[in-house]
Amino acid sequence: MRVAVAGGGPGGLYAAALLKRLDPAREITVFERNAPDDTFGFGVVLSDETLGGIEHADPGVYAALREEFVRWDDIDIVHRGKSLRSGGHGFSALGRRRLLAVLHERCRELGVSLRFRTEAPPVGELASAYDLVIAADGVNSAARGAYADVFRPRVEEHRCRYIWLSAPFAFDAFRFEIAETEHGVMQLHGYPYAADASTVIVEMREEVWRRAGLDRCGERESAERCAAYFADALGGRALTGNRSLWTVFRTVVCERWSAGNVVLLGDAAHTAHFSVGSGTKLAVEDALALAACLRERPGVPEALAAYEAERRPVVASTQRAARASLEWFEELERYAGQPPYRFAFSLLTRSRRITHGNLRVRDPGFVRAVEAEAGVPEGTPPMFTPLRLRGLTLRNRVVCSPMDMYSAVDGLPGDFHLVHLGARALGGAGLVMTEMVCVSPSGRITPGCTGLWSDEQEAGWRRITGFVHEAAPGTAIGCQLGHSGRKGSTKLMWEGMDDPLPAGNWPLVAPSALPYRAGVSQVPHALDAAGLGAIRSQFVAAARRAAQADFDLLELHCAHGYLLSGFLSPLTNHRTDAYGGPLDARLRFPLEVFDAVREVWPADRPVTVRISATDWAPGGTTADDAVAIARAFAAHGADAIDVSTGQVVAGERPAFGRSYQTPYADRIRADVGVPVIAVGAISSWDDVNSLLLAGRADLCALARPHLYDPHWTLHAAADQDYTGPGAPWPAPYLAGSRKPPTGRTDAPKPRPAL
């Protein structure tokens, strides 16, 4: 096999060395346009996981690298003159030039041909001349550009400028320092990579960079200015550059990683922000996987497919974490006013890779200090602290999220709803929410949706709230009121989600005559003044019935493309009257409904509002819009904002992932100052504790975990050895409050990849 590697960075060199080591008969050539000792940047951070893979694959390389490593365990966070240290993290770093030298030497030992100061030939020529072409040519990959129609890359530029510099001493910890200057907030990321040297990255928002005049500075003056901004951190010492330029970070995502016998590796295929230390790590791990797949599969096409299948989920997860991290730093000014320990905890948990749970293992003293500052009693997980909304005190921060069950007959909640909601109430959640309860027969999503337009329905709900209050004292139950709008008159979810009924359809109404799915969904009637008044009256009547049914909390559903949500989004509201156009006008009818409902709802009981903070579609609701929407409802008396996203238009493209909607809740909480309920793939009690303690949410709503385990909250308490008032076990269940013993689960260790 003849292999060409375009790019002599760590990923390309390591791939070449591995492929040659595994099969000495391979003819491998590396093309690198720079000289052997040319390099950008300074230090490289590698995780223990990556180093373990290197040790298995090539003990010689690992041994050579181990001699060079600088290791440390601590992270220092310096903000407003206060320095906090968190330990137990574990990092390894070395100079990038030294890493390349080790890989050069290894390649030469194995017989890899290294062609320095040689631009790689066009990728088409390489593909014709070689059996395999590895494009490791970085973020500006020529190979990716040449085959863009196959790789289909998306490149996104972000909002901060940054520069890589070096300090002539070794920090004794990974250091994050914040400088609040007259121009705006700047941050320093620093870490040692040798006994006498550290990498220093200075980063700030584009507008701060320009106000400071750094856009007019060359390398030397930039280094001098940065050293002055962070003189305390540097002990007055100078910073130096290495062809250092101010740049913006670009996230690269490719739909495919191979085209024929050409395969992308490292930054050519994907990038992840440096604040999670991932660039070289991902490239080296790519090389490991590619070498393993070429060894294990019968041919190049099969190997490249297996490589992408193996690496893509890992890279996607890292990119989600990196995006969360870079967005935290982009919005750093928003967090600058937090108390010192909360600020530090928020920084450490920004990517969701570090959590309350694993940080407590790494540094229990630090976590206890964070909890004490937040007023969390000792021995109490943050999720089991109470929260007061008006006259209602929730005993913990867990919400059983609204989940449509599609199991009602003529809108009437029956035994199924009693058992479903009663089980979740017995399971310990502080607040159990109903599904969307519809305000009229024509406001239902499906024939199986519940309602609150009749006395019989009110009595059915009173039966359920009575059970919850009697059998699970201390658990609150809330009613979510809504109207389906253009998303109504559809089949039950398991019969065909969003598909129209085959017969018996009822007419739909919406802000504008736009179907949910063009050519499939029914075209709704655009509401006129009389229709708006009638629907407002339906919400008021349903709210009165909810109060008489003894619900503890009311939520107005203004999300997910249902009627009130339809008014808020510019994609679904094309009106030209007073209820359409700019956001203030699109808010008019939802606010009118809220005001009318709030007026008839008991003054001591809270009202919350669920919104879709983004439509996940071009031209739709933005994060800025969501802040304005939340601010408007808060000004009208909303006690909390339940921050969801999407489901407004059929063509949405959500960025799914763990806790993927929580950044929107975080922003609304910070910018508006209103309590927020975070939702969206929050699946573990560790996530809940982390979000609450970092100040990203006041309550966490979980849906699917409560379907999997109705007693999710009680089991979370048991898992954390918590027995306090935030999660009392019902007396009949006390015997089950300890996890049953299980059999042994020992299994053979997995075989090494190589």
Q: How far apart are CA 574 and CA 526, in angstroms?
A: 10
Q: Mapped to the 3 state alphabet, what secondary structure does 604-647 carry? A: CCCEEEEEECCCCCCCCCCHHHHHHHHHHHHHCCCCEEEEECCC
- How far from 558 is each of 106, 321, 523, 662, CA to CA, in Å? 61, 29, 20, 18
CA 179 from centre of chain:
26
Q: Is the pLDDT of residue 167 over 80?
A: yes
pLDDT at 752: 53
First CA to last CA across the chain, in angstroms?
19
User: For residue 277, what are the contacts with CB-CB under 8 A and spacing of at least 6?
Assistant: 45, 47, 91
Q: Is the distance from CB of 483 to CB of 438 less than 8 angstroms?
A: yes
Q: Is the distance from CB of 625 to CB of 581 less than 8 angstroms?
A: no
Q: Is the distance from CB of 414 to CB of 460 less than 8 angstroms?
A: yes
User: Which of left, alpha, beta for 379 (phi over 0: left; psi -120 to 50: alpha)?
Assistant: left
Instruction: Sort 146 into a burial class: Cβ within 10 Å, 0-12 / 13-18 / 19+.
Output: middle
- Which residues on neighbouring strands pair with residue 701, listed in sequence order? 399
> How many C-beta neighbours within 10 Å does residue 316 have?
14
Q: How far apart are CA 662 and CA 324, in angstroms?
A: 10
The pLDDT tens digits of the residues spanning 454-478 come to 999 999 999 999 999 999 999 999 9
pLDDT at 740: 79
Find tokens 């000014």 and name the residue. 333
> How many C-beta neighbours within 10 Å does residue 76 have?
18
The pLDDT tens digits of the residues spanning 105-155 come to 999 999 999 999 999 999 999 999 999 999 999 999 999 999 999 999 999
Q: Cα-flanking dihedrals φ and ψ of residue 399, to 5°?
A: -115, 130
Q: How far apart are CA 247 and CA 539, in angstroms?
A: 53
> How many C-beta neighbours within 10 Å does residue 398 have?
30
pLDDT at 214: 97
Average pLDDT, rounded, for the chain: 94
CA 388 from centre of chain:
27
pLDDT at 538: 98
Short-list 274, 229, 232, 281, CA closest to 251: 274
- How far from 510 is each of 116, 437, 589, 595, CA to CA, in Å? 65, 18, 12, 20
113-115 and 153-167 as β-strands: parallel, antiparallel, unpaired?
Answer: unpaired
Q: Is the distance from CB of 357 to CB of 694 less than 8 angstroms?
A: no
Find tokens 């009392």 and name the residue. 728
The pLDDT tens digits of the residues spanning 222-232 come to 999 999 999 99
Q: How far apart are CA 563 and CA 581, in angstroms?
A: 17
Short-list 163, 166, 164, 189, CA closest to 176: 189
Most distant CA pair in the chain, distance: 85
Q: Cα-flanking dihedrals φ and ψ of residue 54, to 5°?
A: -65, -40
The pLDDT tens digits of the residues spanning 235-267 come to 999 999 988 999 999 999 999 999 999 999 999
DSSP 425-489: HHTT-SEEEEEEEESSGGG-SSTT--B-SSHHHHHHHHHHHHHHHHHSTT-EEEEEEE--GGG-S
pLDDT at 392: 98
Torsion 438-442-445-450 (CA) sign: positive
* Active-site amino acid positions: 562
Share of the chain above pLDDT 70, in %: 98
- How far from 422 is each of 472, 545, 736, CA to CA, in Å? 8, 20, 18
Question: Could you state, in order of their start, the residue ranges of all structural domains in the chain?
Answer: 2-332, 397-735
Find tokens 């599904």 and name the residue. 435
The pLDDT tens digits of the residues spanning 695-743 come to 999 999 999 999 999 999 999 999 999 999 999 999 899 888 888 777 7
- Tell me whether domains 2-332 and 397-735 share a fold: no
**Joined tokens for residue 363:** 């540094």
pLDDT band at 37 (very low <50, low <70, confident <90, very high): confident
2-332 folds as FAD/NAD(P)-binding domain (3.50.50)
Rg of the chain over CA atoms, in angstroms? 29
Pick the CATH number of 397-735 from 3.40.50.1980, 3.20.20.70, 3.40.605.10, 3.40.50.880: 3.20.20.70
pLDDT at 739: 80
**Joined tokens for residue 736:** 């089950």
User: For residue 305, what are the contacts with CB-CB under 8 A and spacing of at least 6?
Assistant: 258
The model carries a pTM of 0.90
Question: How many residues can be counted in the chain?
Answer: 754
Q: Is the pLDDT of residue 550 over 70?
A: yes
Q: Is the distance from CB of 624 to CB of 331 less than 8 angstroms?
A: no
Q: Is the pLDDT of residue 30 over 90?
A: yes
- How far from 340 is each of 81, 350, 351, 662, CA to CA, in Å? 10, 15, 19, 22
The pLDDT tens digits of the residues spanning 382-432 come to 999 999 999 999 999 999 999 999 999 999 999 999 999 999 999 999 999
pLDDT at 749: 59
Q: Is the distance from CB of 138 to CB of 271 less than 8 angstroms?
A: no
pLDDT at 748: 63
- Which residues on neighbouring strands pair with residue 93, listed in sequence order? 45, 70
- How far from 315 is each of 269, 320, 722, CA to CA, in Å? 10, 9, 36
Q: How far apart are CA 592 and CA 574, in angstroms?
A: 19
398-400 and 699-702 as β-strands: parallel, antiparallel, unpaired?
Answer: parallel
Share of the chain above pLDDT 90, in %: 86
Q: Please report which residue ranges of 397-492 form alpha helices under DSSP H.
A: 415-426, 455-471
The pLDDT tens digits of the residues spanning 533-545 come to 999 999 999 999 9
pLDDT band at 72 (very low <50, low <70, confident <90, very high): confident
pLDDT at 753: 53
pLDDT at 737: 86
**Joined tokens for residue 99:** 């890493």
